[in-house]
């Protein structure tokens, strides 16, 4: 890093250049702040799947050219292949090219004056009296930790990272069978215990993946592909939290996105929720700099309390859903599918199609006595 950079006192340094960190950089640089993003890879190089709700695409300002496909339905398949199918002519979600989307946000942040340092790995963070030092190369008044499950910002602040994690693997095929182009498929299998396997049509290709809590990841993907008559050649792995962190701020610091567990535990999606929390953190940074206040209590009031009020109920709804299908064995899942079909769950899924906010869906499910009676034995 150029010594001249160290002379600059950035207003905010963002560790982690995924969509969450880049959204924060975009929001902050719009207000004329001196912002830098520190990313150990290249922007858009390491990304997760991009199935994003209609409202989420609007919320984050995703450009149409970064959308690969439109999803209007979902097919759930139990261990013994009992199906629940919900489809309508209304757009349910968009398949977004995450690499292109991340680069889109990066360009928008750069055009507003932010600096992005790729191939920069934050190794040491020291909190001084009036600034934060990163690797002895970057100085900033505030640091945002958008650096994932092993967040160095969280460790520097003595914050506990998420402990409950799902590992995932996905492969992309140009030729693979799927139900129909606008339907995402979800398969519950014993080798994908704690999560599920999926098939996601992406326009010119098909993404096939699995998530596991306590199983062999590669073996799970190989078994699912074998069911489809496919052979594993190359794949990409990842991981995401399935629990929310209670403490997300410290002196001159906030953690955002995966590092804070701000993820939809039942689906693994964190682009929308991370983006919303990044916007909240950005507002807290602006207020912090305006009022010259950098203590933990300030960030708790202006960041943590606000994102919890906005999203915590939905996060817990996702956690409840995921923990239920982790507790159920294959026979119980089959039985649940049959009951759910009898109770018309497909119609409920069509009505409450916003996966970012599952609490309304759960509220409706609570009215179904047969489903609640069955699930009560596992709670």
**pLDDT, tens digit, 9 for 90 and up, residues 82-102:** 999 999 999 999 999 999 999
Q: Has residue 4 got a pLDDT over 80? A: no
Angle of helix 19-29 versus helix 271-291 axis, rounded to 10: 40
Residue of 97, 140, 132 lying closest to 115 (CA atoms): 140
In sequence order, the β-bridge partners of residue 52 are 94
Q: Has residue 214 got a pLDDT over 90? A: no
Question: Which tens digit of pLDDT belongs to each residue from 99-126?
Answer: 999 999 999 999 999 999 999 999 999 9
Query: How many residues does this entry show for the chain?
Result: 379
Question: Which tens digit of pLDDT belongs to each residue from 241-274?
Answer: 999 999 999 999 999 999 999 999 999 999 999 9
In sequence order, the β-bridge partners of residue 249 are 254
Q: Has residue 40 got a pLDDT over 80? A: yes
- DSSP of 27-94, one letter per residue? HHHTTT--EEEEESS-TTTS----EEEHHHHHHHT--GGGEEEEE-EEEEE-TT--EEEEE-SS--EE
> How far is Cα 149 from Cα 157, in angstroms, rounded to an integer?
14
Q: Has residue 45 got a pLDDT over 90? A: no
Q: What is the CB neighbour count within 10 angstroms for residue 98?
A: 21
The two beta strands, 93-96 and 183-187, are unpaired
> How far is Cα 4 from Cα 220, in angstroms, rounded to an integer?
50
Cβ–Cβ under 8 Å, residues 288 and 302? yes
Work out the mean pLDDT of the chain and round it to a whole number: 95
In 83-230, alpha helices (H): 98-111, 152-156, 217-227
Reading the block at residue 6, the tokens are: 């160290």
């Amino acid at each position: 890093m150029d010594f001249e950079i160290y002379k600059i006192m950035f207003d905010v340094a963002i560790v982690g250049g995924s969509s969450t960190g880049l959204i924060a950089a975009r929001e902050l640089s719009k207000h004329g702040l001196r912002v830098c993003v520190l990313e150990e890879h290249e922007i858009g190089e390491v990304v997760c799947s991009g199935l994003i709700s209609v409202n989420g695409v609007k919320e984050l300002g995703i450009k149409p050219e970064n959308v690969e496909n439109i999803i209007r339905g979902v097919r759930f398949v139990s261990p013994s292949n009992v199906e629940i199918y919900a489809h309508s002519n209304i757009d349910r979600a968009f398949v977004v090219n995450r690499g292109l989307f991340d680069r889109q946000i990066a360009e928008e942040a750069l055009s507003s004056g932010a600096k992005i340092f790729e191939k920069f790995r934050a190794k040491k963070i020291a909190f001084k009296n009036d600034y934060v030092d990163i690797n002895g190369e970057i100085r900033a008044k505030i640091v945002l930790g958008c650096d994932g499950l092993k967040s160095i910002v969280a460790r520097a602040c003595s914050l506990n990272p998420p402990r409950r994690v799902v590992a995932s693997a996905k492969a992309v095929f140009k030729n693979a069978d799927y139900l129909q182009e606008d339907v995402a498929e979800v398969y519950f299998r014993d080798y994908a215990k704690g999560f599920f396997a999926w098939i996601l049509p992406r326009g010119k290709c098909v993404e096939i993946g699995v998530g596991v809590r306590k199983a062999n990841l590669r073996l799970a993907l190989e078994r699912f592909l074998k069911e489809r008559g496919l052979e594993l050649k190359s794949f990409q792995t990842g991981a995401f939290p399935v629990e929310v962190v209670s403490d997300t701020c410290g002196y001159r610091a906030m953690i955002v996105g995966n590092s804070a567990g701000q993820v939809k535990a039942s689906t693994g999606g964190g682009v929308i929720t991370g983006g919303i929390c990044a916007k909240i953190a950005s507002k807290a940074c602006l207020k912090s700099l305006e009022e010259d206040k950098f203590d933990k209590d300030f960030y708790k009031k202006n960041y943590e309390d606000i994102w919890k009020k906005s999203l915590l109920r939905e996060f817990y709804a996702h956690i409840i859903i995921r923990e239920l299908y982790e507790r159920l064995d294959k026979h119980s899942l089959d039985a649940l599918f049959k009951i759910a079909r009898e109770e018309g769950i497909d119609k409920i899924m069509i009505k409450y199609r916003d996966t970012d906010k599952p609490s309304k869906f759960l509220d409706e499910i609570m009215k179904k006595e047969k489903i609640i009676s069955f699930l009560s034995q596992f709670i």
